[in-house]
Chains A and B, each alone.
Chain A
Amino acid sequence: MTKAGTAVAAAKPLTPAVPPPQRRGVELALIVLAVLLSVYGYCAVGLARTGTVPPGAAGYGAGLGVLAVLAHLAVRLRAPYADPLPLPIGVLLNGLGLVLIYRLDLETPDDPAAPAQLVWSTLGVGLFIVVVLLLRDHRVLQRYAYVSVVGALGLLTLPILFPAVNGARIWIRIAGFSIQPGEFAKVLLAVFFAAYLAANGKALAYAGRRVWFVQLPTGRVLGPVLAIWLISVGVLVLERDLGTSLLFFGLFVVLLYVATGRTGWIAVGLLLAVLGAVAVSWLEPHVHGRVEDWLHPLATIEAGRGPNQLAQSLFAFAAGGFLGTGLGLGHSVLIGFATKSDFILATAGEELGLAGLSAIFLLYGLLVARGYRAGLDLRDPFGRLLAVGLASLVALQVFVIAGGVTGLIPLTGMAMPFLAQGGSSVVTNWAITALLIRLSDSASRGQPDARVIP
């Protein structure tokens, strides 16, 4: 008995480690399903509107399919152990977004957005392939922490030089193209936060005085937190962009908590966030109006000025009911402005119903969950924080915009990841997906903690 047990124990290190499953076949099958679903949606729009399959259906399907398969090949080549879910989810959401934008283009024949969105999607998938091919190890990014933060702040401040569009200074316009630099800044900030907290997490964890139930952080480490808070409020005030500000601050608080485990940070963070939000909503009429609209979405109707955008959005969701009106048969175009971008979800809600909307939410939920899974499986603190950060970015962004258009929280102009019209957003989200693929690949390989950063 004893001998045999010893033999087994002794033999264990000698057996070759079972290679982790690759699951690339699953990924390919899911990609095919995602492309077919998108093409089906595209055809459904045409059948509902004109009774015929749209002429571009084959081309659209082929284009999306080729992009997806190229991305899949890149993953197969350089990240064979990656999670099989993020790529099909990205393809499905992007394809569905194209369907919805094409569907809304039918209402605004003078202003088609689907072709440009297809170009941006191509660029996004291109960036995905480049990242997967070139970024062999995510820890390389840790070295560029401070470059990232400088770049992020630069991108964030750039739109201040440009005129405000619809009340918010978040766009820059170059040669007819609108770019939202804040979208790219998100990824850079996530990299910086992850790197900074991976390096300084232990120092930040030193507890200060305990007040009541809350363990306050020491004054020495409060500085960086306050700095980030000030930057967030600065963004909010200068760019009048409540959503982006909320997103950055939320991301920072989540990562700070994960890095230090101090509930005190959450308390301080929430307190600062509430203070900042209340102060700004009082001082800034644009933000104040958004809060008023949220509290009383139908007030403009009672005042005889007709329904505002939020009311129209709620009407659209309500018209969808449980099963929706069917693709192409809703009237979300009544929302008027920004139906293809900020309010794209209203079209999904009206035409696909609560069933379709829940499916979309669950797809995002799955993407976030896979990001967290990678975060749990990774060993190096930077990788863990980066995975959690990127997943939280998607989660927070979906919550802020989806909660906004459904009247759960005050409305803020932000792009629904993958779905909404907006090149910067699509490209950024493909970059996030690429990083998640890389992180999950590293997690599956089970790289040791101590390995030297190349």
Chain B
Amino acid sequence: MTKYIRHAAFFCALLLAALLVNAARVQVFGSRSYDGNPANRRAAIARYGQPRGDILVDGLPVTGSRDSHEQLRHERTYANGPLYAPVTGFSSQEYGTTFLEHAEDGILSGSDPLLSPFPLYNDVTRARNPAGDVVTTLNRAAQEAAYQGLGARKGAVAAIEPATGRVLALVSTPSYDPAQLSGNGTTAISAWARLNHDPEQPMLNRAVRQTYPPGSTFKVVTAAAALDAGVIRDLDERTDSPDPFTLPGTRTRLTNEGDGCRDASLRTAFEWSCNTVFAKLGADVGAENMVSTAQAFGFNDTSLRIPFSVSPSTFDTTVDRAQLALSSIGQYNTRATPLQMAMVAAAVANGGQLREPYLVERTVRKGGETIATPGSRPPRQAMHPATAMTMKELMTDVVREGTGANAAIRGATVGGKTGTAQHGVGNTGVPYAWFVSWAQADTDLEPKVAVAVVVEDASADRGEISGGGDAAPIAKAVMRAVLGL
């Protein structure tokens, strides 16, 4: 019997070995796939187990965290949700994250390894780091001025500092309060459904994720291309421009809203926004030069991150001469985000040098210790410095005595360009009102702000829609806020 007892004992030892091997399989070798399973709530519990880091504007948090005492403990709160929604985005337990909440999630949620005091610290302690904060480049006064300026109208504002690329304001209206989506209960679910079915699309970030036909504001690019390419050498020399202008190779005749555009000089044509002159100018510059200048300003760039992605603005690269003529006055397939048009104004203001825009000044630990400063990226020459000087002169004229007079600020030099972009089938949609500008206070050494404003449905009851009438006052308010005038 002794032999058989030993056999049975050996059998029990086999069972024990099987248990140990299987436990090692589940707990050590297979743990990664189980931990990563989307149905496993542990990652979410850990993620919301501590307060989320804050997003700071002018040194003050515009976000917060609320202890809900539920399984996913901490929920996001927003101090002034609709105002900053295009920057912060939302952080929802149900629907994930967007914009800065998404791009800087590692810092804000505490999962970024940069937050740990020294490498591999967290792998040993298995603890989560306290979340870090994200300091933005936003200017609170500019942001508020833009938001109040748009008011109940649908539109967007982007403002940047030309010398650095710091984004000073990023506003989109109508907006929404991202706090509605923070939780994971029925309120968040119904808010999500409501916001997504709202025909006004409040969650659409029009400043960076919506492209519009830039219309006449694109003439800044066309003029710069013509000057760079040497097609125009003297601002006041008469151009050989018929009015109406027949698009090359077609019978389509292009006209102007006002008179005095026939053979107008570049200065006059820019000041009074002559479509015929600029269409012909674009065709004369040629597709190659137009495309290279547009791309130098940032068009067709699919890789721009500020740090969240920006929809690429487009300038069609395969066009015939008629299409090129239309493209050159901001029509046909030319489309731009408000941020892109702010970049155009900024490049002019900064002597032809374009700085890529960025929103995050630096990321810091809870104690205020800096983790990283993404900061300014190397500049790129969008046009000759001489061309930029000339463009500044042209844009200044527009505000001083042309269509952009509403943007003039006492005590500052302001350059701008209006635009009224027709759209819709047969141009039946309410036109978009554009204004792009930059401003330099008399006491400053360089322009401090470049702005682009687009108003989509500029109050139809007010009749005429124009960049100068609807958009320029908003740009003015933003520029004044930045300059402190």
Contact = CB atoms under 8 A, between A and B. Distances in A.
A361 interface: yes
Interface centre among B4, B20, B35, by most A CB within 10 Å? Answer: B4
B9 interface: yes
Contact of B37 (A315, A354, A408): A315
Interface string A301-317: 10000110001001101
A178 interface: no
B476 to A, nearest CB: 54
B126 interface: yes
Nearest to A308: B39
A406 interface: yes
A258 interface: yes
B96 interface: no
B27 A408 contact: no
A232 B304 CA distance: 70
A395 to B, nearest CB: 4
Contact of A391 (B1, B7, B12, B30): B12
A288 to B, nearest CB: 23
Contacts of B27: 317-318, 320-322, 349, 353-354, 357
Interface in A5-62: none
A369 B13 CA distance: 9
A39 to B, nearest CB: 24
A261 B4 contact: yes
Contact of B19 (A259, A319, A375, A403): A403
Contacts of A258: 1, 4-5, 7-8
A372 B28 contact: no
A318 B30 contact: yes
Contact of B22 (A259, A321, A331, A407): A407
A376 interface: yes
A67 interface: no
B6 interface: yes
B41 interface: yes
Given A318-B34, A372-B5, A399 B28 contact: no
Contact of A369 (B9, B11, B18): B9
A381 B1 contact: yes
B126 A307 contact: no
Given A258-B5, A376-B6, A406 B12 contact: no
Contact of A331 (B3, B13, B45): B45
B39 A257 contact: no
A169 interface: no
Interface string A323-335: 1011000010010
B389 interface: no
A375 B5 CA distance: 8
A291 B146 CA distance: 64
A349 B126 contact: no
**Chain A residues touching B, range:** 35 or more
Interface in B15-36: 15-16, 18-20, 22-24, 26-28, 30-31, 33-35
A148 interface: no
A444 B405 CA distance: 109
B303 interface: no
Contacts of A358: 20, 23
Contacts of B23: 317, 349, 354, 357-358, 361, 406
A436 interface: no
Contacts of B9: 369, 372
A319 B3 CA distance: 42
Nearest to B6: A376
Contacts of A254: 8, 11
A257 B4 contact: yes
A365 B16 CA distance: 7
Contact of B41 (A331, A372, A381, A403): A331
B245 to A, nearest CB: 61
Contact of B1 (A306, A365, A384): A384
A408 B19 contact: yes
Interface string A276-319: 00000000000000000000001001000011000100110111
A437 interface: no
B414 to A, nearest CB: 58
A298 B38 CA distance: 11
A349 B28 CA distance: 11
B170 to A, nearest CB: 38
A194 to B, nearest CB: 12
A362 B13 CA distance: 10
B45 A361 contact: no
A319 B13 CA distance: 27
A317 B34 CA distance: 9
Contact of A306 (B7, B31, B39): B39
Contact of A321 (B15, B31, B33): B31
B42 interface: yes
**Chain B residues touching A, range:** 35 or more
A117 interface: no
A354 B24 contact: yes
A258 B7 CA distance: 8
A51 to B, nearest CB: 14
A224 to B, nearest CB: 19
A372 B12 contact: yes
A254 B12 CA distance: 10
B428 interface: no
Given A306-B39, A331-B41, A407 B8 contact: no
A263 B39 CA distance: 46
A347 interface: no
A349 B23 CA distance: 9
Contact of A301 (B19, B31, B39, B42): B39
A142 B31 CA distance: 49
A399 B15 contact: yes
A67 B41 CA distance: 40
A238 B4 CA distance: 34
A443 interface: no
Nearest to A334: B41
A334 B6 CA distance: 42
B267 to A, nearest CB: 66
Contacts of B427: none
Contact of B42 (A331, A365, A402): A331
Contacts of B26: 314, 317-318, 349, 406-407
A96 interface: no
A388 B8 contact: yes
Contacts of A349: 23, 26-27
A432 interface: no
A368 interface: yes
A163 B13 CA distance: 38
Contacts of B15: 395-396, 398-399
Nearest to B7: A257
A319 B30 CA distance: 10
B8 to A, nearest CB: 5
Interface string A360-382: 01101100110010011000010
Contacts of A325: 126
Contacts of A261: 1, 3-4
Contacts of A326: 126
A403 B17 CA distance: 11
Contacts of A331: 41-42, 45
Given A323-B126, A331-B42, A372-B8, 8 more contacts: A298-B37, A314-B34, A319-B31, A321-B27, A334-B42, A372-B9, A375-B5, A406-B23
Q: Which 5 A-B pairs have the closest CB atoms?
A: A318-B34, A318-B31, A354-B27, A395-B12, A301-B39
11 contacts: A259-B4, A261-B1, A301-B37, A314-B34, A315-B35, A320-B27, A357-B23, A369-B12, A372-B5, A395-B15, A402-B19
Interface of B: 1-9, 11-13, 15-16, 18-20, 22-24, 26-28, 30-31, 33-35, 37-42, 45, 126
Interface of A: 254, 257-259, 261, 298, 301, 306-307, 311, 314-315, 317-323, 325-326, 331, 334, 349, 353-354, 357-358, 361-362, 364-365, 368-369, 372, 375-376, 381, 384, 388, 391-392, 395-396, 398-399, 402-403, 406-408
